[in-house]
Structure 1
Amino acid sequence: MKPKAPTKDQLEQYALRGLGYADDHVMESFNMKEVSDWLGISYSYFYHIFAEIMGEPYWQYVKRHRLELAAGLLRHSGYNIGEISDLSGYATMAAFTKAFTNHFGGSPRYFRRIEELPNEKRTLEMTAMITAVHAQQGSTIGNFFSFERAEHVILPDSIMYYTLISYGQDPIAQLVMRMSRYEQRFRKMLDLLDLPQGKIVTGTLDAVPVTDYERLSMYAGVCIPVKDTQANIQLSEQVKNLIRKRISGGHYLRLQVPLDFVSAGVPMYDFINRCCREGIYKMSGNHFFMSLTGPNLCEIYIPYMKNI
């Protein structure tokens, strides 16, 4: 009997898991053959699937993703260029500088000095326009986004189990429309598996606002500390279709705001950008995220460099 052809959803899962692999191995050297073997499909099959689903060749995505994350670190972190080169998966600073300059039209050193990042104005304007329509009725930002309100916490190394709920087209609009359904799904999953320590989280895999608005990959998922071995075994066995991502622990700023995630999105970025530009703190990575803690209530987690 001839085996059934994969469904469209199955093909998308291959592409999204490949995308997730690239994001989770940004600092490491790997090739497409390793990814296709990990997925259990042939190299050529994966090559064509990814290009068709995501609209660009896989290795082009890997290179772009690494350089855009590097650009985010140049803007918001206190790492030097050599350290950012290592964090972006480049073997030498010379190779990184050449690739970065070719991609952005300016050197990393020049990029660090510019006032407005590529795509920044458009991405923030698009996001603000979309979220304004769907924001919590009657919500006011007030003084929620101030450094004085932020708590310094230490998070453990964690694993995020997530799904990409929008990628390409109109990502923020898709996130807003679909997030409620995914939040309900993850709350039910944590209840059924008796995992009260899990955080329901959302964010982007990309460097905001360096990545083109239409290419942003928005996610929803649950975060579980690595040390909770049994919980991670349960999730790995019970939920096969979620992508995994390592979340580095360490020093974070936690900001609790009485807003839904839609209302908090743009002010969150403005807060991060302002504080980093003014030297109040520097980020240790691009992996800031929101934890949805209740109706119209969320916590923002920002990884920061303790000694800067």
Structure 2
Amino acid sequence: MHASTQQHIFQSRLYIERNLGEVLNGEIIAERAFLSYFHFQHQFKASTGESVWQYVKRLRMEKAAFLLLFTSSPVSDVAFGAGFETAAAFSKAFRAWHGQSPQQYRQQHLQHHSASQGLSYNWNAVKQVRLPAQKVVSFRAEGIQQFPQGYFKWQQLAGSLAEQNVALIGRSPDQPGITPYSKLRWDTAVPEACLPQGLKQELTQEQLLFEDSLPGGHYLVVPFTGFGRPLPAHLPAILAYLRKQGLEWRPSGYSFQVLRQHETDSRCSTDLFIPVL
């Protein structure tokens, strides 16, 4: 597959990810990849191993499972958030995918996600901050074994960034146990303003690089000892802390992590930024 086609397919995937709760039109998605719908379907499956609608359905089912486990939202709200027009249609699709009803899934699996195992937080250093919106440039790594590649990619493309002590921003919307290990997503970003002059233009040729933004707003900052992990690994401990403080997590917000020391072993430190109301 030509590199430009691969990049267009990737951009269409980002569009799907950002609009899961909306009615998606295959023709419009194909237009974003500059392909006819017929050729888009072929190229999409060649790139991802899934058809367009298999991809959409999987992401919706994973998002629904995430919301069932980590929020107290009614099933009807979870259904609409996952892009279903009715709770009945959602329940039928969810049962076909997970083998049980949404209510059964929530009850059975919640106990397995009730503790953050083996993670060390500095609760005495927790603080609340209000951040302005910020543009970033992100690199996507896929598959749990590839998570560190985002950091190494930035080293390769702009080795001077580490010397300038530029923060690396990590984010993953996926949870092992819900998303297959081979499909886990991890985005490593650098603030756009920190990119050396001319580098951004060079980066446009990279297949899994994309522009993104960190929304402004109210965040809880939780220091964590270790390398970044998918957000759901942290949520049980974070949610317990929020309840004690009378705060509420915004699951529709943008949670991210900032690596404060440029090492990929257990000695590195990470700040978790959790959007709160």
**TM-score normalised by the chain length of structure 1:** 0.68
Q: How far apart in 1 are the matches of 2:154 and 2:100?
A: 40
* Cα deviation code 1:54-96 (max 9, x no counterpart): 1110111111101201211111124332322222222222222
Q: Which runs of 5+ in 2 are unaligned?
A: 263-267
Which of these residues, 153, 163, 167, is aligned with residue 139 of structure 2?
A: 163
* Cα deviation code 1:152-182 (max 9, x no counterpart): 23344555432212x2xxx222222552232
Q: How far apart in 2 are the matches of 1:272 and 1:252?
A: 14
1:243 aligns with 2:210: yes
Q: Measure how far apart 1:221 and its partner are.
A: 1.9
Check whether the contact 2:155–2:162 (CA below 8 A) recurs between aligned residues.
no
* Paired residue secondary structure (1:294): coil
Q: Measure how far apart 1:210 and its partner are.
A: 1.1
Q: How far apart in 1 are the matches of 2:190 and 2:71?
A: 26
Alignment of 1:11-160 (within 5 A): 11-115=5-109, 144-160=120-136
Check whether the contact 1:72–1:208 (CA below 8 A) recurs between aligned residues.
no
1:182 aligns with 2:154: yes
Instruction: Please provide the CA RMSD for this pair.
Output: 3.7
Aligned counterpart, 1:3: none
* Paired residue secondary structure (1:114): helix
Check whether the contact 2:122–2:224 (CA below 8 A) recurs between aligned residues.
no
Count the aligned residue pairs.
260
Check whether the contact 1:36–1:46 (CA below 8 A) recurs between aligned residues.
yes
Q: Measure how far apart 1:37 and its partner are.
A: 0.8
* Counterpart residue identity of residue 221, structure 1: A
1:265 aligns with 2:233: no
- Identity percentage of aligned residues: 22
* Counterpart residue identity of residue 211, structure 1: T
Q: How far apart in 2 are the matches of 1:19 and 1:26?
A: 11
* Paired residue secondary structure (2:260): strand
Task: Specify whether residues 208 and 149 from structure 1 end up closer, same or farther in structure 2 by C-alpha distance, changes over 3 A only.
Answer: farther
Check whether the contact 2:121–2:225 (CA below 8 A) recurs between aligned residues.
no
Q: Which runs of 5+ in 1 are unaligned?
A: 1-5, 129-140
* Counterpart residue identity of residue 149, structure 1: A
Q: Measure how far apart 1:52 and its partner are.
A: 1.1
* Cα deviation code 1:126-161 (max 9, x no counterpart): xx9xxxxxxxxxxxx6xx415443222334455543
* Paired residue secondary structure (1:290): strand
Q: How far apart in 2 are the matches of 1:107 and 1:282?
A: 27
Higher-RCO chain (CA-CA 8 Å, sequence separation at least 6):
1
Task: Specify whether residues 276 and 258 from structure 1 end up closer, same or farther in structure 2 by C-alpha distance, changes over 3 A only.
Answer: closer
Task: Specify whether residues 289 and 257 from structure 1 end up closer, same or farther in structure 2 by C-alpha distance, changes over 3 A only.
Answer: same
* Paired residue secondary structure (1:211): coil
Q: How far apart in 2 are the matches of 1:258 and 1:17?
A: 33
Q: How far apart in 2 are the matches of 1:51 and 1:117?
A: 36
Q: How far apart in 2 are the matches of 1:217 and 1:64?
A: 13
